[in-house]
């Protein structure tokens, strides 16, 4: 079931909610450098978030989404994004369901 859940992802829905409205530069997740580690039920995305501007406080949230757009797990953290590449690691737990 875990593999079905992962295949149903639109990658890994990750959003960076910038708390400081003064930062007008585009903060983004570098998907090609982002890695996902899976061990049992634990899923640990290591996001690479690019910040082209100055230090910016942010709330980072990831969601594990199944093929019918149901959120199966999520994690969130507060981060201080420095200029350049920032590595943010979060922990998700995959929900096991019987089918």
Identify the CATH number of the domain in which residue 34 sits: 2.60.40
Looking at the structure of the chain, the number of domains it has is 1
Q: Is residue 80 part of a domain?
A: yes
Q: What is the pTM of this model?
A: 0.70
Q: Residue 68 is part of which domain span?
A: 2-93
pLDDT for 10 beyond 80:
no
- Can you list the pairs that 35-44 forms with residues at least 24 positions away whose Cβ atoms lie under 8 Å? 36/12, 38/2, 38/6, 41/2, 41/93, 41/94, 41/96, 42/91, 42/92, 42/93, 42/94, 43/6, 43/73, 43/91, 43/92, 43/93, 43/94, 44/89, 44/90, 44/91, 44/92
- pLDDT tens, 73-97? 999 999 999 999 999 999 998 766 5
Q: Is residue 98 part of a domain?
A: no
Most confident of 11-20, 57-66, 90-99: 57-66
Q: Is residue 22 part of a domain?
A: yes
């Amino acid at each position: 079931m875990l593999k079905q859940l992962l295949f149903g992802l639109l990658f890994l829905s990750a959003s960076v909610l910038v708390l400081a409205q003064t930062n007008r530069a585009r903060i983004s997740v570098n998907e090609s450098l982002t890695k996902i580690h899976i061990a049992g039920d634990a899923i640990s995305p290591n996001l690479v978030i690019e910040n082209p501007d100055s230090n910016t406080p942010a709330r980072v949230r990831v969601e594990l989404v199944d093929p019918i757009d149901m959120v199966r797990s999520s994690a969130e953290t507060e981060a201080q994004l420095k200029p350049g590449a920032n590595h943010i690691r979060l922990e998700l737990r995959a929900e096991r369901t019987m089918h």
